[in-house]
């Protein structure tokens, strides 16, 4: 069984993944895989440079994400082109990671992804767990972690899927509006249920 874990910025996805890991549950993070597929030497990076030029590279040959983001932010057609290059590769690698973790005998595994629903990665999972917090807490936790101002945090949240839409698609919801002890208790309860569930 594969559980997809998602939620808005700073909702607590990574913290939740660590709490499951403490119970012996492995996870793969779609953000890490998204970075892997554009590392130097990867065919996706070569395609990106062929299209946008060396302006999207740092001097050491790594992808300059900010430069690329600025180009595709202004040009929806270019964003779709970029997604056409990266999304299939990300998906392929996620499947490989998930299969390897399952083959190693885990009771179930996690796919942690901020864009679980938007990217179609939810098709890879059996259940979706949404980590939910009110917007005010997202802003406070983003600001505390990333030195991001309230205005910028609000803009990031506004660009993401709305809280209500995400919740409507959830099979399970973890309310992360209280402290880490409450988070750990909810993870323990979900773990107990997931171990009992058969693949749906
Ligand atoms: P992103 O989408 O930005 O990668 P995320 O959803 O993975 O973020 P985390 O990095 O797990 O979120 O958490 C965001 C911040 O909030 C971190 O600094 C984390 O320590 C803190 N945090 C998470 N859960 C709690 C909690 N229950 N109580 C207090 N702080 C928390």
Q: Which atom from ligand 1 is nearest to the alpha carbon of 176?
A: 27
Q: What per-residue confidence (pLDDT) applies to 147? A: 77
| Residue 177 assigned to a binding site | no
Q: Find the 10 Cα to ligand 1 centroid distance in Å.
A: 5
- Is the pLDDT at 170 greater than 80, yes or no? yes
- What spacing in Å lies between the alpha carbon of 12 and ligand 1's midpoint? 4
- The whole-number average pLDDT for the span 65-71 is 92
| Ligand 1 center to 81 CA (angstroms) | 32
Structure confidence at residue 74 (pLDDT): 85
* Angle between helical axes of 76-103 and 43-52 (0-180°, round to 10): 170
Q: In this prediction, what percent of the chain has a pLDDT beyond 70?
A: 98
15 in a known ligand binding site: yes
For residue 198, the model assigns a pLDDT of 66
Q: What's the pTM value of the predicted model, to 2 decimals?
A: 0.92
Q: List, for residues 14-53, the tens digit of each pLDDT value.
A: 999 999 999 999 999 999 999 999 999 999 999 999 999 9
- Size (the chain), residues: 200
């Amino acid at each position: 069984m594969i559980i997809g874990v998602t939620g808005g910025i700073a909702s607590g996805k990574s913290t939740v993944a660590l709490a499951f890991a403490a119970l012996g549950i492995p996870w793969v993070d779609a953000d890490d895989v998204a970075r892997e597929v554009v590392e130097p030497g990867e065919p996706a990076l070569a395609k990106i440079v062929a299209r946008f030029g060396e302006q999207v590279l740092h001097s050491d040959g790594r992808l300059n994400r900010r430069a690329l983001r600025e180009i595709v932010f202004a040009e929806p057609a270019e964003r779709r082109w970029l997604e056409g290059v990266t999304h299939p590769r990300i998906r392929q690698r996620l499947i490989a990671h998930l299969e390897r973790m399952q083959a190693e005998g885990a009771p179930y595994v996690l796919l942690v992804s901020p864009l679980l629903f938007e990217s179609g990665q939810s098709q890879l999972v059996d259940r979706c767990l949404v980590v939910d917090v009110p917007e005010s807490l997202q802003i406070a936790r983003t600001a505390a972690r990333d030195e991001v101002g309230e205005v910028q945090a609000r803009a990031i949240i506004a660009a993401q899927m709305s809280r209500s839409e995400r919740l409507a698609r959830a099979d399970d919801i973890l309310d992360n509006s209280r402290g880490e002890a409450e988070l750990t208790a909810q993870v323990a309860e979900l773990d107990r249920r997931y171990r009992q569930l058969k693949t749906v």
